[in-house]
Structure 1
């Protein structure tokens, strides 16, 4: 035990020597007395978890490194990651890895505090059959788990409901943020985290499909390296893992039994525009995705598929009298949203005095002082006695 403490103390001293002109200056920087720091470095006193977190923060290292000397796994782009199109500039791999690291650092802090988000067991791998068959089978397993957890059919969930279901049932945390042009999502998983980063997107149906596609990658354990999803026309995926993830998303968002129940009588003779529009609106997918799914299930022929896929999502909502839903979902798809479980965990640690605000501020991409003013009502200025007249509502 003494050896472990000494090794940790050596690494703390290394941080101090690197970032501060003196131990007294370092003690002031992390908010403890010089006497406490001296006693901790001499072994007469133990560093608290919060103090170790402050040391790690000052030295731009992790607490895990201070305690063990091990550098935790960090997102690295998969070898197959490519630019979105031949005309696009090369991916800035360092920037993408740093973006993912912004979120994965939160997992490190919560793990240190013994408050890591729960990671339910993933489905057992079943590699038999084609990628299409594997994707459909995985989707059925996912549907069973969602039903068992009391999650309603996915057609009833907006994007926030989908992200909540991913976290609750599969332990997959979802962030929505701005990504470089042409990229739609990043996915990474380890033994301690499962993360999907979605790009804000003007086409909400595409954003929704991308989320479920990325969930398929996680459930199939495809994302051991950081996976980068570039914009691609439907049906053009060539790699087996991408074919499987597409098949998974189509089957989960548009389950065969649900589609058959929703179809009007008389198919496959014809499917008119109002009936098709109703399917698109009800299942919250694009006309292209719906037409491809109906064709894959043998419910329409190729001519009908080609005719129906030319409709637009907005047009289908107009025909169905659901433009209000279209507008609301379009607005929501442009909002940046952090992973709720990570925010909740870090805020709880701050409120309990086990962490500073810095990890939460880093996750949210905000300044510490700005965040403190939002969270601490006492930071607001007191009303002046000199003010007269009617009281003014303050939100």
Structure 2
């Protein structure tokens, strides 16, 4: 396949549709499609975006015939990771298409990179302090509102949640200019929150991989990987800042105080106990006692069982990448894309979405 037309012809042949039917399927005028295939006119970026969306390929593949790394990874991986990579590839391809329409990923990395020569754990902690400073500078807090929305707004990375099955926590993808965090839906909100911070650590550290797959962020074997050590240290310091912990310490930290602190920070008691013991805020004996406390027990001791139940429900819900949804809608509103990519992303029919966005006027002319 030496040209764009060749690749489009191949997709049309694979579909088994006539030129007329294929054109209708991809929302193109048949005469226009025929002219583009013959070389009389060129395919526009919007044309290619429509074809790519319907045929489940990327615009980059249509332009150059090369598969992006995420596509290769998705094709060669099985199990829950394969489902995660498929979604990451889809979202990455959509972002790549939007980039060509003038909507690049609004990624805002930190100016303070981890210092060379320090340990990976120290790099993670330093990166967390810089990230928290940026959040405070923008007038936000990690303990109020949605952490996923905060990361999208303050750092420009997309955050999505999907049903990925047991044994998979999440991934961070950087391919095709995409900055994406994909999390597994789970009934364990503290674990999901830690995974979100962990994946943000990968992105902010600029770890030199197209995708980081985290089947189990607490797996001992995984912790031997330097980038995982850094990401875990980042997540701990990001979610449980040292200053906040020191400020919360009382003369005698009882079980109720500890449970309330875990609820305030929205972390598991075990993770909090490890962090406080690492900072020498509690001794090993107290740490061992608190490590056995469950999240539901902490919520009960703190009188916040209803709040915990709500968080558990929310952590099981799917979430589309917010920035991708926003920019896909913007491209349609600006006339740079058809409605199909937006409808496909939302998972609803084109006609249904059109009736929602463009309601018919009644006899009085009101929309």
The correspondence for 1:54, drawn from 25, 50, 64, is: 50
Does the Cα contact within 8 Å between 2:80 and 2:166 map onto a contact in 1? no
Taking only aligned residues, the RMSD between alpha carbons, in angstroms, comes to 3.1
Match of 1:307 in 2: 289
Offset of residue 306 of structure 1: 0.6
The correspondence for 1:345, drawn from 317, 321, 327, is: 327
Match of 1:197 in 2: 182
The correspondence for 1:329, drawn from 301, 308, 311, is: 311
Q: Deviations over 1:279-326 (max 9, x none)?
A: 112211111111111100011110000111222222222222222321
Match of 1:389 in 2: none
Match of 1:130 in 2: 119
Q: Deviations over 1:118-156 (max 9, x none)?
A: 12235434232222212111111211222222222x123
Does the Cα contact within 8 Å between 1:217 and 1:223 map onto a contact in 2? no
Match of 1:284 in 2: 266
The structure whose residues are more often helix, as a share, is 2
Where in structure 2 are there 5+ consecutive unaligned residues? none
Sort the Cα spacing of 1:288 and 1:235 in 2 relative to 1 into closer, same or farther, 3 A.
farther
Match of 2:79 in 1: 91
Partner Cα distance (1:223, 1:21) in 2: 42
Deviates more, 1:270-279 or 1:298-307: 270-279
Partner Cα distance (2:30, 2:71) in 1: 37
Counterparts of 1:1-395 in structure 2, within 5 Å, are 7-16=3-12, 19=15, 22-41=18-37, 45-57=41-53, 59-74=55-70, 77=73, 91=79, 94-122=82-110, 123-152=112-141, 154-157=142-145, 161-190=146-175, 192-222=177-207, 224-231=209-216, 233=218, 237-264=223-250, 266=251, 270-378=252-360
Offset of residue 70 of structure 1: 4.2
Does the Cα contact within 8 Å between 1:234 and 1:289 map onto a contact in 2? no
Offset of residue 9 of structure 1: 4.3
The two structures have a TM-score, normalised by structure 1, of: 0.80
Offset of residue 65 of structure 1: 3.3
Q: Deviations over 1:174-200 (max 9, x none)?
A: 101111211111221136111111111
Sort the Cα spacing of 1:330 and 1:124 in 2 relative to 1 into closer, same or farther, 3 A.
same
Does the Cα contact within 8 Å between 1:175 and 1:338 map onto a contact in 2? yes
Offset of residue 35 of structure 1: 3.6
Partner Cα distance (1:226, 1:300) in 2: 37
Offset of residue 58 of structure 1: 5.1
Does the Cα contact within 8 Å between 2:96 and 2:176 map onto a contact in 1? no
- 1:156 aligns to what SS in structure 2? coil
Sort the Cα spacing of 1:224 and 1:76 in 2 relative to 1 into closer, same or farther, 3 A.
farther
The two structures have a TM-score, normalised by structure 2, of: 0.85
Max radius of gyration: which structure?
1
- 1:55 aligns to what SS in structure 2? helix
Offset of residue 44 of structure 1: 5.0
Does the Cα contact within 8 Å between 1:187 and 1:195 map onto a contact in 2? yes
Number of equivalences: 359
Sort the Cα spacing of 1:259 and 1:30 in 2 relative to 1 into closer, same or farther, 3 A.
closer
Offset of residue 46 of structure 1: 4.4
| Large movers: runs of 4+ above 6 Å | none
Deviates more, 1:367-376 or 1:92-101: 367-376
Offset of residue 330 of structure 1: 1.4
